[in-house]
Structure 1
Amino acid sequence: MNKSELIEAVAKTAEITKADAERALAATLGTIVKAVSKGDSVTLVGFGTFKSAKRAARTGRNPQTGKEIKIAATTVPRFTAGATFKAAVSGKKAAKKK
């Protein structure tokens, strides 16, 4: 499913126009990106958590020459799927917490 197909599905499910669905999706994604880029995490219970993580500097290897290269430390986005999402994908029921 690509972005336009997602917008169409959201519009149909929510019974709103495609333009409204596109604005809602853009606002949602923009808000998530802005929060994660500031170092905050965004948790959607049952769906998952978006957060940033630091990746340490390391030594890599150029696949063409085999020469070692230094890869700088960086901050990268991470997504961790929630239990309900994982269960839906695997076809199993999510375990309930007691």
Structure 2
Amino acid sequence: MAGKAMTKSALVGAIAEKTGVRKAVANGFIETLCAVAVAETKKNGQFVIPGMGKMLKSHRKARMGRNPQTGAAIKIPAKTVVKFRVAKAFRDAVVPPKK
């Protein structure tokens, strides 16, 4: 990794600077985007951020696993998880495809 990850306050500052709005407005935008993403993913099982990617609610089946300390077989219960699939255009912009 090249450096530290951008913090929420740094993201708010960058959005406010690039769009010319106050930081409070930019913060409200981020809070609203997150709230809508959670609500839509819960309700419909997916939420698309155009040009960036898609949040998906996915169900994992129960499976057998191993306790790494003892080697004993254990049952890992089924659960619902959230995945994020990066859009191809976004991925190609960050990591250019090999030729």
Which range, TM-score by smaller chain? 0.7 to 0.9
1:64 to 57, 66, 69: 69
In the TM superposition, what is the alpha-carbon distance from 1:65 to its structure 2 partner?
A: 2.0
Q: Runs of 4 or more off by more than 6 Å in structure 1? A: none
Q: How many residues align?
A: 92
Distance 1:4 1:65 in 2: 44
Distance 1:52 1:78 in 2: 6
In the TM superposition, what is the alpha-carbon distance from 1:38 to its structure 2 partner?
A: 2.1
Unmatched 5+ residue regions in structure 1? Answer: 93-98
2:7 to 2, 11, 19: 2
Cα deviation 1:29-79 (Å, max 9, x = unaligned): 111011112233212332111111111111122222222211111111111
Distance 1:29 1:71 in 2: 30
The answer on whether the counterparts of 1:39 and 1:51 sit within 8 Å (CA) in structure 2 is: no
Aligned residue for 1:78? Answer: 83
Distance 2:9 2:96 in 1: 26
Aligned residue for 2:45? Answer: 40
Structure 1 length normalisation: TM-score? 0.83
Unmatched 5+ residue regions in structure 2? Answer: 1-5
Distance 1:77 1:13 in 2: 30
